[in-house]
Structure 1
Amino acid sequence: MNTSVSSSETSGPIVELVARARAAQRIYETWSQAQVDMAVTAAGWAIIEPARNRELAELAVADTGVGNVEDKVRKNHRKTFGLLRDLQGARSVGVIAEDPARGIVEIARPVGVVCAITPSTNPGATPANKIINALKGRNAVIVAPSPKGWSTAARLIEFIHQQFDRIGAPRDLVQLLPAPVNKQSTAELMRLCDLVVATGSQANVRAAYASGTPAFGVGAGNVAGIVDETADTEAAADRIVRSKTFDNATSCSSENSLVVVDAVRARLLAALKDRGAVMLGEAQKATLQQLMWPGGKLSPAVIGQSARAIAERAAEVDGANRAAWQAIAEADPRILMVAEDGVGHDHPFSGEKLSPVLAVYAARDFAHAASIVERIYGYEGAGHSVGLHSAVPERALELGLSLPVSRVIVDQAHCIATGGSFDNGLPFSLSMGCGTWGRNNFSDNMNYRHYLNITRVSRPIAEQVPSEEQIFGAFFAQHGAH
């Protein structure tokens, strides 16, 4: 644990915050597995209880202006309930594994005090996920939210403290960085804690890596999905719309581009249109690009907004096409689509949009589709995941063997499946590791084991020394013993 504090750092609100966390963690470290699991369940119930869940969802949308209430209610419940399912029966206290044949015993140890950096796009669900995982490892956690998400995180922690009072857990196990949150206070907190877990912008992730404290950070989103010539286009359209519209596409796992094989392109676009997606013309695409990337940077004004709200904004700025935009807005579209064939800075629709706006690429065949996705990830989104709608099982393996992705999501609603689902085997998480492709040091869904230190006891076993033939036999047989 990071216990080195210089004489100039012995006072101040953040130093005191961390000191209280350490005192609470020392108590919590003595708890049994059953007691720890009770604390985990208490924290989960704090957000899942329906009235509290809705209050947090409403507060999140009111404070951040991002997403929509009903989907945040679903997200708060589903992600937390799934995480609690994953943690049931998982050992995180004392001896957690024994291998007599190898003479190895594994012992779970806490990391200490965790600094949890959380984004405005998920100001309730992401802090809850990190808090619960940290508690599973007998850690204390201090949440450093985005400024816009501070009120939601504060209310969540109030709810957790109420549940802690019921079971006798120290309130200081879960704390919040005081407002106003800024880069300086967050940097000090990161430096004083034992582990930083950063979800949000790449600037936040880089700051975590530079803090001098061990850190897990996530990679950038910009998911692409492939629809090949064997896909069930009606089912694919259902999944794509369900994923792309969820919480107004605030998830890093929402599709940003579709790459569609020519043989099914017309059918898929028709199916998407039937479900509320609108394909824009070139003039409208140009207006939307200027609205979304004024000066070349994605505008916060469109992040997490509905397709209708974005169309209404476009009508305000595009006098020449105002009537067309108004007609689109009045139709209450679910997704705005643009045809795209370029990739890179000069083609911003090829990047992450964090809104229900979808770039659609045409591909001659599956191999061409995969090459387009590779180009997209060369620009942005490497390491995260790729979606595939196909009736050919081998194609998922092809993508997994060739593309720079940590996950291949097959025939599923991407943003719902990537972070764990009850109908797939991925752990429930809101922090997606993207491997070295995404400048991360892990490539799985972040889970409770990332919040543990593991001590290994090694006892002597019968010596097992292989022969030279076992080690070098195949090499010598082909190349000789020279």
Structure 2
Amino acid sequence: MYKVDKDLLAIQEARIHIEAAKEAAIELRDFSQNQLDEIVDQMAVAMIPYCQELAEAAVVETAYGRYQDKALKNRFSCEFVSKKLSGKQYVGVIAEDQHNQTLEIGVPLGVIVSLIPATSPVSTTIHNVLIAIKSGNSIIVSPHPRAKQTIQQTVKLLKEAALLAGLPDGGINCMQLVSTTSTDALLSHEETALTIVTGIPKLLPKLYQMGKPFIYGGSGNGPVFIERTCNLKQAIHDIVESRTFDHGIVSAAEQSIVLDGPISERAKDELNRQGAHFLSEAEAQRLLGVLIKANGELNAESVGCSAQELAKRAMIEVAKETRIFIYEQDYVSDHNPFSQEFFSPIVALFVEPNWQEACEKCIELLMEGGKSHTLVIHSKDEQVIREFAMKKPVARVLVNTPSTLGGMGATTNLFPSMTLGSTSLGIVQGSDNISPEHLVRIRKVGYGVRRFEECFPSQRENHSVTANEGNTQPSIEVILRQIINEIKE
């Protein structure tokens, strides 16, 4: 009796999907933007009735988050993203300057591999599939093992709608057998043009080692500064709603609060009124025992849990209105476990005497681990806002808005996205919200508008005498030789 090697089967499946995706990508090169748009629209419409069902399935399978919020994220990807994509040109002639006689042509990359996290499995899958097809690429989805069934069902529904709208058969596929070896096979294959990795930091060393183009939707771990001129009640409301959305599982959510000294006591009172529980040292240590394993790694079983559930596990007595934990600290330290990113409704809190020192504290927080992609500021002082925007080592700055919804483009006019690029992570640099424009190459076309010698009008008379007998125009060789000689002299 032969033993079936699942790793070998997974590798074979990966190769089959790559070959099918390659053939589909070749066919898609001949699709117009209108044809691609029809497929995208049909997929988006087809997914709307399943948004809640898939959200519930994701929570059941992963035990992460809150299905009501996941359903909203799913609808955001179906409705809001597709609306934003409508009428946008990403392939073919995307820009034309008749005056300067130039063209820009969008060229699809080819085969895209998308690694989907367990935290937002459905909304991220929908988003990445829509932008891949919008930009004329084929896509292979590799699901996180913890959310495999939900992601596979999501891709199945997307593919059925896309095929009915005219997509080539290999244009969308999903791995059924998921393993480390099959992931390696997808990432390293010569036909993989680009990999999109959303919120899976353990894969970063491997991605760099592969030496192939990738986009990494980095960790959030971002601070929020509450400045003295802000609408304090609204600012606290935004932060609490943002950090507790889907039980804190969205990486773009606020991780640390930096308070302006003169309003710190009022801010703490407002946090208490809106459901915050300030942790004592003993409570913080008990909570860490739930959040972190003995080896220092994040405990996956604590991800996406409500404050009430975490309190129960850590044996912390809290009010029934408690929605979020606050742990006040003095310093940012690599050895402080509260400096890392938690996917739970927990924030660290720092108090600084003025905005200048708050600015420095935010830089420390952003640089800690080098992973933060978003900073939020609540303020009415435009000068302070501009100073923060100019000086922070961060991909995006959000002003007077919840980080979770503002970062993904729901409450701001940033491109609506479930994959938020970072400033430094990814061979394909993408600090923007990832969109179809990151999945195409821009081919520049320039028409000739002047003769070579017209580029150097001051040299025209001198060069003309060296031209060949009977030729009124100097040759390029003569002009270049003359210019080189003049440089040497």
Distance in 2 between the 1:409 and 1:26 partners? 40
**Superposed displacement of residue 165, structure 1:** 4.0
Is contact 2:13–2:175 with CA below 8 Å preserved after alignment?
no
Distance in 2 between the 1:35 and 1:219 partners? 32
What is the one-letter code of the residue matched to 1:431? T
Give aligned-pair identity as a percent: 28
Q: What residue is the counterpart of 1:403 in the other structure?
A: 392
What is the one-letter code of the residue matched to 2:175? L
Q: What residue is the counterpart of 1:167 in the other structure?
A: 165
Is contact 2:430–2:438 with CA below 8 Å preserved after alignment?
no
Q: What residue is the counterpart of 2:12 in the other structure?
A: 12
Q: What residue is the counterpart of 2:218 in the other structure?
A: 219
Distance in 2 between the 1:348 and 1:86 partners? 39
What is the one-letter code of the residue matched to 2:393? P
Q: What residue is the counterpart of 2:357 in the other structure?
A: 368
Tell me whether 1:333 sits opposite 2:322 in the alignment: yes
Q: What residue is the counterpart of 1:6 in the other structure?
A: none
Is contact 2:216–2:426 with CA below 8 Å preserved after alignment?
no
Distance in 2 between the 1:94 and 1:12 partners? 34
Q: What residue is the counterpart of 2:268 in the other structure?
A: 269
What is the one-letter code of the residue matched to 1:451? L
1:30-64 Cα offsets, whole Å, 9 max, x none, are 222221101111222233x23x1111101111111
What is the one-letter code of the residue matched to 1:401? M
Distance in 2 between the 1:39 and 1:402 partners? 42
Q: 1:239 to 1:467 in 2, by over 3 A?
A: farther
Tell me whether 1:29 sits opposite 2:29 in the alignment: yes
Distance in 1 between the 2:156 and 2:428 partners? 32
The SS at the match of 1:129 is helix
Q: 1:175 to 1:392 in 2, by over 3 A?
A: same
What is the one-letter code of the residue matched to 2:430? F
The SS at the match of 2:301 is coil
The SS at the match of 1:194 is strand
Tell me whether 1:432 sits opposite 2:420 in the alignment: yes
1:183-211 Cα offsets, whole Å, 9 max, x none, are 21111011221111111222223323332
Q: What residue is the counterpart of 1:185 in the other structure?
A: 182
The SS at the match of 2:302 is coil
- Note the 1:46-57 alignment, pairs <5 A: 46-47=46-47, 49-50=48-49, 52-57=50-55
Is contact 2:109–2:194 with CA below 8 Å preserved after alignment?
yes
Q: 1:403 to 1:76 in 2, by over 3 A?
A: same
- Note the 1:29-428 alignment, pairs <5 A: 29-47=29-47, 49-50=48-49, 52-179=50-177, 181-192=178-189, 193-295=192-294, 296-315=296-315, 325=316, 327-328=317-318, 331-421=320-410, 423-428=411-416
Is contact 2:333–2:339 with CA below 8 Å preserved after alignment?
yes
Q: 1:125 to 1:457 in 2, by over 3 A?
A: same
The SS at the match of 1:92 is coil
Which is further off, 372-381 or 90-99? 372-381
Distance in 2 between the 1:467 and 1:241 partners? 65
Q: Normalized against structure 2, the TM-score is what?
A: 0.86
Give unmatched runs, 5+ long, in structure 1: 1-10, 316-324, 469-482
**Superposed displacement of residue 466, structure 1:** 8.3
Q: 1:466 to 1:308 in 2, by over 3 A?
A: farther
Is contact 2:142–2:175 with CA below 8 Å preserved after alignment?
yes
Q: What residue is the counterpart of 2:434 in the other structure?
A: 446
Distance in 2 between the 1:388 and 1:466 partners? 51
What is the one-letter code of the residue matched to 2:35? Q
Q: 1:370 to 1:466 in 2, by over 3 A?
A: farther
**Superposed displacement of residue 467, structure 1:** 9.2
What is the one-letter code of the residue matched to 1:122? S
What is the one-letter code of the residue matched to 1:60? A
Q: Normalized against structure 1, the TM-score is what?
A: 0.88
1:407-434 Cα offsets, whole Å, 9 max, x none, are 111000111001112x422001111111
What is the one-letter code of the residue matched to 1:120? A
Q: 1:389 to 1:438 in 2, by over 3 A?
A: farther
What is the one-letter code of the residue matched to 2:438? H
Q: What residue is the counterpart of 1:458 in the other structure?
A: 446
Is contact 1:93–1:109 with CA below 8 Å preserved after alignment?
yes
**Superposed displacement of residue 171, structure 1:** 3.8
Is contact 1:344–1:376 with CA below 8 Å preserved after alignment?
no
What is the one-letter code of the residue matched to 1:429? S
Count of matched residue pairs: 445
Is contact 2:112–2:132 with CA below 8 Å preserved after alignment?
yes
1:45-90 Cα offsets, whole Å, 9 max, x none, are 233x23x111110111111111110000001112332211221111
Flag the structure with larger Rg: 2
Distance in 2 between the 1:418 and 1:41 partners? 24
Give unmatched runs, 5+ long, in structure 2: 1-10, 459-489
What is the one-letter code of the residue matched to 1:275? Q
Q: 1:405 to 1:438 in 2, by over 3 A?
A: farther
Which is further off, 128-137 or 77-86? 77-86
The SS at the match of 1:16 is helix
Is contact 1:142–1:174 with CA below 8 Å preserved after alignment?
yes
Distance in 1 between the 2:368 and 2:114 partners? 28
**Superposed displacement of residue 279, structure 1:** 1.0
1:234-256 Cα offsets, whole Å, 9 max, x none, are 01111011100101111111111
Is contact 1:382–1:434 with CA below 8 Å preserved after alignment?
yes
Q: 1:266 to 1:381 in 2, by over 3 A?
A: farther
